[in-house]
A and B are shown apart, each in its own frame.
Chain A
Amino acid sequence: EPEVTQTPSHQVTQMGQEVILRCVPISNHLYFYWYRQILGQKVEFLVSFYNNEISEKSEIFDDQFSVERPDGSNFTLKIRSTKLEDSAMYFCASRPQGYGYTFGSGTRLTVV
Chain B
Amino acid sequence: SQQGEEDPQALSIQEGENATMNCSYKTSINNLQWYRQNSGRGLVHLILIRSNEREKHSGRLRVTLDTSKKSSSLLITASRAADTASYFCATDKNTGGFKTIFGAGTRLFVKA
Contacts of A101 in B (CB 8 A): 33, 35, 43, 45, 100
A106 touches B41 (CB 8 A): yes
Is B61 part of the binding interface, using a Cβ–Cβ cutoff of 8 Å?
Answer: no
Is the beta-carbon distance between B99 and A103 smaller than 8 angstroms? no
For chain B, the count of residues having a C-beta within 8 Å of the partner chain is 24
Cβ of A65: which chain B residues have Cβ within 8 Å of it?
A: none
Inter-chain contact A50/B102, CB cutoff 8 Å: no
Nearest CB in chain A: distance from B84 CB, A: 16
Q: How far is the CB of B102 from chain A (nearest CB, A)?
A: 4
CA distance A98 to B35 in the complex (A): 16
| Contact indicator A56/B97 (Cβ below 8 Å) | yes
Partner of A45, one of B30, B35, B100, B105: B100
Q: Is the CB of A45 within 8 A of B101?
A: yes
Chain B residues, Cβ within 8 Å of A35: 102
Q: Is the interface of B mostly helix, strand, loop or mixed?
A: strand
Most buried by A among B31, B33, B43, B103: B43
Which A residues lie within 8 Å of B40 (CB)?
A: 89
- Using an 8 Å CB-CB cutoff, how does the interface string of A35-73 with B read, 1 for contact, 0 for none? 100000111110010100001101000000000000000
Most buried by A among B97, B99, B101, B104: B99
Q: Which residues on the B side are within 8 Å of A106 (C-beta)? A: 41-42
A99–B43 CB distance below 8 A: no
Contact B88 A102 (CB under 8 A): no
Give the chain A neighbours of B105 by CB distance below 8 A: 42
The interface bits of chain B over 24-62 (1 if a CB of A lies within 8 angstroms of the residue's CB, else 0) are: 000000110101000011111101100000000000000
Spell out A's residues near B (CB within 8 Å): 31, 33, 35, 41-45, 48, 50, 55-56, 58, 89, 91, 93, 98-106
Closest 3 CB pairs of A and B: A48-B98, A100-B45, A43-B102
Q: Which residues of B contact A (CB under 8 A)?
A: 2, 30-31, 33, 35, 40-45, 47-48, 88, 90, 97-105
